[in-house]
Amino acid sequence: MHIRPVKAYKMNEDFKILPKLMYTGEYDDNRHLINVYDSSKEKLTKIIGTYQWILNSTGEIFFIEEDDPYLAT
């Protein structure tokens, strides 16, 4: 497992105006993002087939921008 920050943006809001949120991404050994956690350590659920994740406690949907895993060490 590898832990790295990921950038999260609330869906349906202007990405250029609102600041990105830094969440924690958990990657498997093949460098696939498998889990995302917010600042309070709540796990988000991936919406299959998209780059979107939902925070179940609030219903908010986020676009997760991953950094290139091959550049991170």
Q: Whole-prediction pTM value?
A: 0.79
CA distance 2 to 20: 22
Residue 8 covered by a domain: yes
Residue 15 covered by a domain: yes
Range of 34's domain? 2-65
CA distance 49 to 2: 22
Would you say how long the chain is, in residues?
A: 73
Residue 72 covered by a domain: no
Encode the chain (73 residues) as per-residue pLDDT tens digits.
Answer: 899 999 888 887 665 566 678 899 999 999 889 999 998 999 999 999 888 999 999 999 999 887 665 555 4
Residue 36 covered by a domain: yes
Residue 38 covered by a domain: yes
- Give residue 73's pLDDT: 47
The number of folded domains in the chain is 1
